[in-house]
Amino acid sequence: QVQLQQRGAGLLKPSETLSLTCDVYGGAFSGYYWSWIRQPPGKGLEWIGEINHSGSTNYNPSLKSRVTISVDTPKYQFSLKLTSVTAADTAVYYCARGLPWGTGTNKYFDPWGQGNLVTVSS
């Protein structure tokens, strides 16, 4: 059974760079798209972007100028960097596997990582 384990800093100051990594255990890595999704406290879900094992990415245009998603396929991990953070970036950040398997970019998500609360505060 695939499990996603997230890690990264939880407290940032404005203008710093958010950095999170998601490790994938117990299943195949190649052939899937891997996504980052965030949820501000008490609010809904926002898709940030996705990457596949070969490094092909798609980003949400609302964040594209500040987001980089990268992959390290041999290590079964992918990472998120979000630059120039502000208080509006305070959220729980989730990593998730996109389904179905394959090259198409029409993905729903399962499973999800446990979530990382990232707080931006001076």
Partner 1 sequence: DTVMTQSPESLAVSLGERATINCKSSQSLLYSSNNKNSLAWYQQKPGQPPKLLIYWASTRQSGVPDRFSGSGSGTDFTLTISSLQAEDVAVYYCQQYYSTPYSFGQGTKLEIK
DSSP 29: -
Binding marks (x or -) toward partner 1, 20..39, rule CB under 8 A? ---------------x----
d(CA 99, CA 109): 6
What tokens were used for 87? 């208080």
Binding marks (x or -) toward partner 1, 43..82, rule CB under 8 A? -xxxx--x-------xxxxx--------------------
- When the beta carbons of 58 and 68 are compared against partner 1, the nearer one is 58
Compute the least distance from the CB of residue 52 to partner 1, in Å: 13
d(CA 104, CA 115): 26
- 3 near partner 1, judged by CB under 8 A: no
- 41 near partner 1, judged by CB under 8 A: no
DSSP 73: G
- When the beta carbons of 64 and 75 are compared against partner 1, the nearer one is 64
DSSP 71: E
First to last CA, the chain: 40
Residues 59 and 86: beta-carbon distance below 8 Å: no
Which residues of this chain interact with partner 1, rule CB under 8 A? 35, 44-47, 50, 58-62, 94, 96, 99, 105-115
